[in-house]
Amino acid sequence: MTRKILIFSAMAAMLLFCASSCKAQKAKQYTIEVVKEYPHDTHSYTQGLFFQDGELFESTGQYGESTFRKVELGTGKALKRLDFARKYFVEGSVVLGDKLYILTWTNKIAFVYNAETLEYESAYSYPREGWGLTTDGKSLIASDGSSKLYFLSPEFKLEKTLNVTLNGRPLRLLNELEWIDSKIWANVYTTDMIVVIDPADGKVEKVIDCSGLLPDKLRTRRTDVLNGIAYNPENGKTYLTGKYWPRLYEIRLKPKK
């Protein structure tokens, strides 16, 4: 009987520990505050957005409209621009080392350019849909619209797959990605939600509600979803925009009340 009581007590303790752990792991909720706003090209179907050496870069999608641009933050104008053939639908982009990597959506091709000159260097076969792309400084990190993130070598060899969960459940539609302070930020496609993911275990630590970021008065029939996260490590500022949006916003987080 004593042994049964001890076993029962141990099981009860484990259940209490699990319950408290599950509660502790629930994602924290945040909203955003706009610090400053900038013009954004309404012809940009934003797919990738990032800073490199203090300069803003953007990849844009749609067949016949796909581009990669070096963008002047203050005006939203393209200072340099690559235009892609009509058959390509460009997606996420990032610089790793001295190379610029650009995904395509369903073409199953990833392009590589010289990051400084934007001259074409090579292309790799890509086995899945290309969505978002970022880097931790060692690997490329890609999304494909599922609940998985893929860590890849610079030669696009799969290193590991990360399953992303929100409060214990798989979180699908992960889209544009950004590496910020050793965490992965991800847009959740078709929503006003951004999540902050622990790259060690795939758990969402923060949920950021971006509802109302672009006011109704600035929306048109063409205005599409929130998509585009850029972090400038030189000043610690974070910027958000969307597909065909007329504004790009510098934001900061606020705990949700």
Q: 168 in helix, strand or coil?
A: coil
Phi, psi at residue 108, to the nearest 5°? Answer: 60, 40
Sheet strand arrangement including 55-60 = 46-52, 55-60, 67-71, 78-83
Q: What pLDDT score was predicted for residue 221? A: 92
Q: What pLDDT score was predicted for residue 18? A: 40
Express each pLDDT in 76-115 by its tens digit.
999 999 999 999 999 999 999 999 999 999 999 999 999 9
For domain 27-255, which architecture applies?
6 Propeller (2.120)
User: Using an 8 Å Cβ cutoff, are 50 and 134 in contact?
Assistant: yes
**Mind listing the pLDDT tens digit of every residue in the chain (257 residues)?**
444 333 334 433 433 334 434 444 799 999 999 999 999 999 999 999 999 999 999 999 999 999 999 999 999 999 999 999 999 999 999 999 999 999 999 999 999 999 999 999 999 999 999 999 999 999 999 999 999 999 999 999 999 999 999 999 999 999 999 999 999 999 999 999 999 999 999 999 999 999 999 999 999 999 999 999 999 999 999 999 999 999 999 999 999 88
pTM score, whole prediction: 0.89
- For residue 70, give both structure tokens: 């070096």
Assign 3-class secondary structure to 195-255: EEECCCCCEEEEEEECCCCCCHHHCCCCCCCEEEEEEECCCCEEEEEECCCCEEEEEEEEE
195, exposed or middle or buried, with CB in 10 Å at 0-12, 13-18, 19+?
A: buried
Sheet strand arrangement including 140-143 = 133-135, 140-143, 148-152, 158-163
